Amino acid sequence: MKYTIIALSLFLSLTSFAKNTEHLPGGVLISTEDMASMQFSCKGKMPLKEITCDFIQKILIRNTESVAEVKKFLSTISIDDLKKEKNFSYCKKEFATPIKVSNAHAKEHSDEIEKNSDTLCNCVAENDLKCFSNAMMKFAEMKEKTCKVVLNSFSIRFKKISKDKWLSNPGPEGLCNLVNVGTLEAVGDSGYSWKYTQIRVASDKGEHCKFDLNKPTVYVTDQGIFKLNCEYIDLGSVF
């Protein structure tokens, strides 16, 4: 009887502990609008009145440089102008080398560049503006269908406002005194599903301080599979 009471007491203690144990937020969140995700983990001392969460955000964006912009640029330059540019000032015939495309996935669409033009530097070295323009247009057509990955890392401090819900409101920040209000809350009782919402509520006015205010940006625990709106991914532009 004595051991039964001890066992029952221990069971009730463990049950009470499990009910009172809070889950530290963490996992991967997916944007509800953009091709973007955030991996995050949080730390804090029990009881969880405040937590600090570290985020790594990945955004897939399409290149904004259009073929029309490149055409406009090409219509205003000459070979002499190009030779004065820092990027092409070193271009000499003895240093010019044909373009080499090692990526098998890019070769199919780069053969024409390789066949018709050599490198941009070669074109400048040969005083051939048509060669340069053709090469630039081929690259521009490819870049217009290219996406790149943008990486951001940051930390946010939250204060608990209710069960499994935290608020971040650090006040005005940066040159524009931008005010971001963020909430992090559990979805369901599993402890593995989360929702992060950020709203820009105030900002200075000015040429460099144009933000969409009062528009929520939402990330949730979800599948991160997207249909791409580009044909190529430029991993060399990750920053």
Q: Which fold would CATH assign to domain 19-62+148-237? A: Lipocalin (2.40.128)
Parse the chain into domains and list their residue ranges: 19-62+148-237, 67-143
Query: pLDDT for 6-57, tens place per residue?
Result: 433 433 333 333 344 567 899 999 999 999 999 999 999 988 899 999 999 9
What is the token pair recorded at 135? 């090469």
Q: b/e string for 189-198 if b means 16 or more Cβ within 10 A?
A: eeeeebbbeb
- Alpha carbon distances (Å) from 189 to 93, 154, 195: 68, 27, 13
Confidence tier at 239 by pLDDT (50, 70, 90):
low
pTM: 0.68
Task: Kindly state the helix (H) or strand (E) to which residue 142 belongs, with its residue range.
Answer: helix 129-143
What end-to-end distance do the CA atoms of the chain give, in Å? 67
Average per-residue pLDDT for the chain: 79
Axis crossing angle, helix 129-143 with helix 104-117, rounded to the nearest 10:
160
User: Rounded distance, CA 116 to CA 134, Å?
Assistant: 8
